[in-house]
Amino acid sequence: MTGGHWGHRERKPDVSYDSQADPVTILAECAESAGVSPHITPFSQTGTLRERLAANPFLMAPMAGVSDAAYRMMARAGGAALAYTEMVSVAGLHYGSEKTWELVVPTPPEPDIAVQLFGSKPDQFREAARAVASRLGERLALVDVNMACPVPKVTRKGEGSALLDDPQGAADIVRACLDGLSDAGSDVPVTVKIRAGRRTGEDEVAPRFAQAMEEAGASAVAVHGRTASQLYRGEADWGCVARVAEAVEIPVIGSGDVRGPEEAARMLQETGCAAVMIARGTYGNPWCFADARTLVEGGEAKTHDLAERLAAFACHVRLLDATHAHLARSRSLAGWYFRGLPHAAALRDRAMRCQTVEEYLALADSLMEIAREGA
């Protein structure tokens, strides 16, 4: 197979594209070839949160600019117990921003969703929790408070990981969320996501901070084993996850350097955490959740061949279009799903030139045909 084949060959897709298809129909049509389920299992509403997490301990993390409705659907169809929204500004909800609300409301076939809020004002958190619970009803699985984001434009407002320096203010936010949910007649859990600490070289604050969140009423705490100052550099300290798990009675959700199902299964087994939150390990790999569960249960993770990867990419692009997301996100998807293929750079270049759903589907279809010819 030559570089020219991968870089320049163009052809039309073999199947017609129904631009009016809804996400439920798309999943039903694509699931078998994409190696995912056509049906999404709801997050259990019975039992303690620890028991509910034990039933399936692998969660899709909130990721800014990534975890839109299409991404969440692929993750859930790929076996994630629950998927989180992108970070949702409580200030945006306070001022009635429709763009902010678009991040919150799940799209069928999502049966439920975890909504992650960020901000710094307890009164806005109370208002946001009440509004979200009222609007989503039984489709709200939990409310999570972001106390981990290290981005300066967030932290300089006292939001995200800046709250690690203010455990009292963070506790007030947890209590405000609980009050807001109570106002709406909802008893869904309030959880928090934190980091090991603010700055590398300082004392690790995560265990003590987690205890304060537990005392404030948080039902679980997710821990990313890096400090905020590390951003996403260096290695995540899974020992921090274990130390937090030892410090609190509530479930701990581990996060950081979970690059695939093997790391997800290993984190669960090595740290004593109750669940694992997978972020970058989901890139081009919606199957990682089911594969991790298979590994934990003593089986072997499935190998996902080229045909399945291309089918999953096509399904994901169709879901993007059906949920009215910006198709430019398909360029990132192409880089992730095509990773490791021969002439990957040429494939990414072709994806960067695609403008329509039909062009992305034609790209996937042509790659499959070339692969068949070279087999």
Rounded Cα–Cα distance for residues 323 and 318 (Å): 9
- 8 A C-beta contact, residue 129 and residue 169: no
Cα 5 to chain centroid distance, Å, stands at 35
- In sequence order, which residues have a C-beta less than 8 Å from that of residue 115 and are 6 or more positions away? 84, 85, 88, 104, 132, 136, 140, 142, 143, 144
Residue type, 125: F
From 145, 92, 146, 85, select the one nearest 114 (Cα to Cα): 85
Query: Rounded to the nearest 10 degrees, how much is the dihedral formed by the CA atoms of 329, 255, 128, 85?
Result: 20
Rounded Cα–Cα distance for residues 288 and 290 (Å): 6
Q: How far is CA 356 from CA 233, 248, 339, 351, in A?
A: 35, 50, 21, 10
- 8 A C-beta contact, residue 188 and residue 143: yes
Other C-beta atoms closer than 10 Å to the C-beta of 232 total 12
Residue 315 annotated in active site: no
Rounded Cα–Cα distance for residues 194 and 67 (Å): 19
Where are the strands (E) in the chain, listed by range?
Answer: 58-60, 88-89, 113-118, 140-147, 190-197, 220-227, 252-255, 275-278
Per the residue annotation, which of 149, 240, 315, 354 is the catalytic one?
149
- Residues constituting the chain: 375
Rounded Cα–Cα distance for residues 367 and 361 (Å): 10
Residue type, 275: A
Q: Mind telling me the catalytic residues?
A: 149
